[in-house]
Amino acid sequence: MATIELTKDNFGEAVSGPGTLLVDFWAAWCGPCRQFAPVFEDAAENNPDLTFGKVDTEAQVELAQAFGISSIPTLMVVREGVVVYAQPGALPAPALADLIGKVRELDMDEVRAKVAAAEKGTEGTA
């Protein structure tokens, strides 16, 4: 499956959908982004059961700001509506494949329990 272009109009739907979404925040002028692009595309081809999307930070400034993207490329992984990874930097193909494997192995019930516990712990501490 090829990557999809994510915009402010379709991002919410893509993130809240079932399964796993990998998002590459990038810009055309960014050298490391251009180096990471074929790695990301290859991963998309090799993992047709996952959704791969790209956010052009120049065209989608609101999305980049909403996620606090200050360095590109930034890779974000959302599984079952929960952000499970978000880090700047271009990953080499073996590291991206390893990350995808680890995301597949996550126990999402455990992840959601940790998120809920963290949110409870921060209530009232503003």
* Residue 92 bears catalytic tag: no
- Which helix (H) or strand (E) segment is 116 a member of? helix 108-122
**Which listed residue (30, 75, 90, 99) is catalytic?**
30
Can 31 be counted among the known catalytic residues?
Answer: no
Q: Are 68 and 37 in contact (CB under 8 A)?
A: no
33, 43, 63, 77: which one is catalytic?
33
According to DSSP, the residues that pair with 24 across neighbouring strands are 54, 75
Spatial CB neighbours of 68, under 8 Å, sequence gap ≥ 6: none
Active-site residues: which are they?
30, 33
